[in-house]
């Protein structure tokens, strides 16, 4: 038996994102969104980084989000499967362009609103708490075209209008909200994180931090609106978490690890504490960044901090000041990590470090003293059905077991954790690679990287395992 106890009412469940599951990319009045321009294959990388050849899908390219796993038409049966596992919560995101197809309409698209109404009703039927992200890697493409997306202040007001609209509409149905998914992704994959596009010669950092300022103000305004419209709701900010280890105890490596951590903490420092951190001033000066702000921004940021910190955790990261080490051992992680010889790695080169999960959770709680909600954690792996069509995903069970156990230890360390929604309850399109074969689910979806397959759902071995974890409130992880 475990030597930790998960609190009563702990929100066990799974996490999804509209752009990776829904499909139906132009159905129900939905407008084109940034992820609809991210092709599968080698061209995806430059697009995610902001080098976007066209603001319309191109002939001859395959765009995995257009159909995804067609959750738009399967949500009832998929939710029934989640309910069978005993989910207490499901994290979803609302596709902004289903509600405001161009992002600029005054009146929302009723068909889009009705889709999420029906989805939330389905969750309620199964006693599942919705956890809803307002922006998970999507911006209506029209806003990219007209305003350059988050680089423009205009988008703050448009996002606020969207946020208020969904708070009003779903005030009786949704009590857990998240503003921006992995807000720090803006620095690594700026088109994916914030719809930013670049031309040769652009001062990329200036554009990124200006966009970040706009998202931070928009996030605070969303917190304000949420508190006003749904006083009994909680709204969090979210970090793609995973601390940086120094490769050696050379103080220069330690300093570099601190700086790399601060790249990410920067966002949460503002969202959780309500003001720009002291180190930002020097960073801006040394990088020729000068933010255009409005007089009321300081007050907005200070007055409307997040209620909790939502986090994803897949890997820890490692950094070194030694160019030889960096050259020889960079792993596939978007955060540009050096390979850590003490931990295993996944088939995609992501380190597997459950103790790092416990350390990261503690580090974040020490820093912010806000409740934590683990809204993503899981293993992307290739699943191959055996001769009977079954998937014995023991590797996934092992990953999850070790991470849930590490989270239990963090709870014993004294960290208040609201819940755990693993990524992902069902196979879906991978955000970074666009592949289907990078699978995370307890439920297999018959679909391949090229979009072939019946989309039929079937249970993997981990399905019953997770069901038991939930039924025992995390006590039985065997
Ligand atoms: C997070 C994202 O970065 O990690 C998800 O919020 C994403 O959208 C998940 O799917 C796993 O990453 P990937 O690239 O393996 O899908």
Q: Ligand 1 test: best mutation among 136, 432, 449, most atoms within 8 Å of CB?
A: 432
Q: What distance in angstroms lies between residue 40's CA and the mean position of ligand 1's atoms?
A: 15
Which residues are marked as active site?
182, 376
Domain annotation covers residue 6:
no
Nearest CA, atom 2, ligand 1: 431
Integer angstrom CA distances of residue 39 from 292, 384, 445, 464: 33, 25, 20, 34
Task: Report whether residue 69 contacts ligand 1, using a CB cutoff of 6 Å.
Answer: no
Q: Ligand 1 test: best mutation among 137, 376, 378, most atoms within 8 Å of CB?
A: 376
| Structure tokens belonging to residue 176 | 């857990």
Work out the average pLDDT over 128-139.
98
Domain annotation covers residue 5:
no
Domain annotation covers residue 432:
yes
Through-space distance between the first and last CA atoms of the chain, rounded to whole angstroms: 10
- Per residue in 11-32, pLDDT (tens digit) is 999 999 999 999 999 999 999 9
Task: Kindly tell me if the per-residue pLDDT of 338 is higher than 70.
Answer: yes
Q: What is the pLDDT of residue 1?
A: 63
Task: Report whether residue 181 contacts ligand 1, using a CB cutoff of 6 Å.
Answer: yes
| Structure tokens belonging to residue 133 | 């992200």
- CA of 17, closest atom in ligand 1: 8
Q: Ligand 1 test: best mutation among 22, 311, 431, 434, most atoms within 8 Å of CB?
A: 431
Q: What distance in angstroms lies between residue 398's CA and the mean position of ligand 1's atoms?
A: 19
Please count the structural domains in the chain: 1
Q: What distance in angstroms lies between residue 375's CA and the mean position of ligand 1's atoms?
A: 11
| 214 alpha-carbon distance from chain centroid | 19
Q: What distance in angstroms lies between residue 1's CA and the mean position of ligand 1's atoms?
A: 32
Domain annotation covers residue 140:
yes
- pLDDT tier for residue 334 given thresholds of 50, 70 and 90: confident
Calculated CA dihedral for residues 427, 433, 437, 439, nearest 10 degrees: -30
Beta strands 344-345 and 351-352, pairing class: antiparallel
Work out the average pLDDT over 406-428.
98
Task: Kindly tell me if the per-residue pLDDT of 336 is higher than 90.
Answer: no
* Burial bucket for residue 99 (CB in 10 Å: 0-12, 13-18, 19+): buried
- pLDDT tier for residue 318 given thresholds of 50, 70 and 90: very high
Nearest CA, atom 9, ligand 1: 431
- Per residue in 143-155, pLDDT (tens digit) is 999 999 999 999 9
Task: Report whether residue 438 contacts ligand 1, using a CB cutoff of 6 Å.
Answer: yes
- Per residue in 58-76, pLDDT (tens digit) is 999 999 999 999 999 999 9
Task: Kindly tell me if the per-residue pLDDT of 331 is higher than 70.
Answer: no
Task: Report whether residue 16 contacts ligand 1, using a CB cutoff of 6 Å.
Answer: no
Q: What is the pLDDT of residue 356?
A: 98
Task: Report whether residue 312 contacts ligand 1, using a CB cutoff of 6 Å.
Answer: yes
Domain annotation covers residue 4:
no
- The overall average pLDDT reported for the chain is 96
Work out the average pLDDT over 319-334.
83
- pLDDT tier for residue 285 given thresholds of 50, 70 and 90: very high
Listed residue (228, 230, 176) closest to 9, CA to CA: 176
Domain annotation covers residue 251:
yes
Q: What is the pLDDT of residue 467?
A: 98
Q: What distance in angstroms lies between residue 423's CA and the mean position of ligand 1's atoms?
A: 8
Task: Report whether residue 376 contacts ligand 1, using a CB cutoff of 6 Å.
Answer: yes
Nearest CA, atom 15, ligand 1: 430
Contact 229, 170 (CB under 8 A): no
Work out the average pLDDT over 345-373.
96
Contact 361, 429 (CB under 8 A): no
Task: Report whether residue 430 contacts ligand 1, using a CB cutoff of 6 Å.
Answer: yes
Percentage of residues in the chain having pLDDT higher than 70 = 99
- pLDDT tier for residue 156 given thresholds of 50, 70 and 90: very high
Q: What distance in angstroms lies between residue 429's CA and the mean position of ligand 1's atoms?
A: 9
- pLDDT tier for residue 332 given thresholds of 50, 70 and 90: low
Q: What is the pLDDT of residue 141?
A: 98
Q: What is the pLDDT of residue 402?
A: 98
Measured from the Cβ of residue 344, the count of other Cβ atoms closer than 10 Å reads 10
Domain annotation covers residue 477:
no
Q: What distance in angstroms lies between residue 292's CA and the mean position of ligand 1's atoms?
A: 31
Domain annotation covers residue 110:
yes
Task: Kindly tell me if the per-residue pLDDT of 239 is higher than 90.
Answer: yes
Domain range for 257? 11-471
Q: What distance in angstroms lies between residue 430's CA and the mean position of ligand 1's atoms?
A: 6
Q: What is the pLDDT of residue 333?
A: 67
Here the CATH number for the domain that contains residue 121 is: 3.20.20.80
Beta bridge partners of 444: 458
Contact 97, 26 (CB under 8 A): no
Work out the average pLDDT over 182-209.
96
- CA of 240, closest atom in ligand 1: 3
Distance CA 440, CA 452 (A): 19
Q: Ligand 1 test: best mutation among 423, 424, 429, 434, most atoms within 8 Å of CB?
A: 423
Beta bridge partners of 159: none
| 77 alpha-carbon distance from chain centroid | 24
């Amino acid at each position: 038996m475990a030597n930790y106890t998960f609190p009563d009412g702990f929100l066990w469940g799974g996490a999804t994102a509209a752009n990776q599951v829904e499909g139906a990319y132009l159905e129900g009045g939905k407008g084109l969104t940034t992820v609809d321009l991210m092709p599968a294959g080698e061209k995806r990388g430059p697009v995610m980084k902001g080098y976007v050849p066209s603001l319309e899908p191109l002939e001859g390219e395959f765009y995995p989000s257009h159909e995804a796993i067609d959750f738009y038409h399967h949500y009832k049966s998929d939710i029934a499967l989640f309910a069978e596992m005993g989910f207490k919560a499901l994290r979803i995101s609302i596709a902004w362009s289903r509600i405001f197809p161009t992002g600029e309409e005054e009146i929302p698209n009723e068909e889009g609103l009705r889709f999420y109404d029906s989805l939330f009703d389905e969750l309620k039927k199964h006693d599942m708490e919705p956890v809803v992200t307002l922006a998970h890697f999507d911006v209506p493409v029209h806003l990219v075209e007209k305003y350059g997306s988050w680089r423009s202040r205009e988008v703050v007001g448009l996002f606020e209008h969207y946020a208020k609209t969904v708070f009003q509409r779903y005030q009786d149905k949704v009590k857990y909200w998240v503003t921006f998914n992995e807000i720090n992704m803006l620095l690594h994959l700026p088109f994916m994180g914030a719809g930013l596009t670049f031309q040769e010669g652009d001062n990329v950092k200036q554009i990124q931090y200006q966009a970040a300022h706009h998202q931070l103000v928009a996030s605070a305004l969303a917190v304000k609106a949420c508190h006003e419209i749904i006083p009994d709701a909680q709204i969090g900010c979210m970090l793609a978490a995973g601390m940086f280890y120094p490769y050696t105890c050379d103080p220069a490596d330690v300093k570099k690890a601190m700086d790399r951590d601060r790249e990410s903490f920067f966002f949460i420092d503002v969202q959780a504490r309500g003001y720009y951190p002291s180190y930002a001033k020097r960073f801006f000066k040394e990088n020729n960044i000068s933010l255009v702000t409005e007089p009321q921004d300081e007050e907005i940021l200070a007055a409307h901090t997040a209620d909790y910190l939502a986090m994803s955790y897949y890997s820890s990261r490692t950094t070194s000041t030694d160019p030889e080490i960096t050259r020889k051992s960079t792993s596939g992680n978007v955060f540009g990590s050096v390979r850590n010889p003490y931990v295993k790695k996944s088939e995609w080169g992501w380190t597997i470090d459950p103790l790092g999960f416990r350390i990261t959770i503690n580090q974040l709680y020490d820093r912010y003293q806000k409740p934590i909600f683990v809204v993503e954690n899981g293993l992307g792996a290739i699943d191959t059905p055996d001769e009977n069509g079954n998937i014995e995903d023991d590797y996934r069970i092992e990953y999850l077991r070790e991470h849930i156990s590490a989270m239990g230890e963090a709870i014993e360390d004294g960290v208040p954790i609201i819940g755990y929604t693993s990524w992902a309850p069902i196979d879906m399109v991978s955000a970074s690679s666009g592949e289907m074969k990078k699978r995370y689910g307890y439920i297999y979806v018959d679909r391949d990287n090229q979009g072939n397959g019946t989309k039929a759902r079937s249970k993997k071995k981990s399905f019953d395992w997770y069901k038991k974890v939930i039924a025992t409130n995390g006590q039985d992880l065997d």
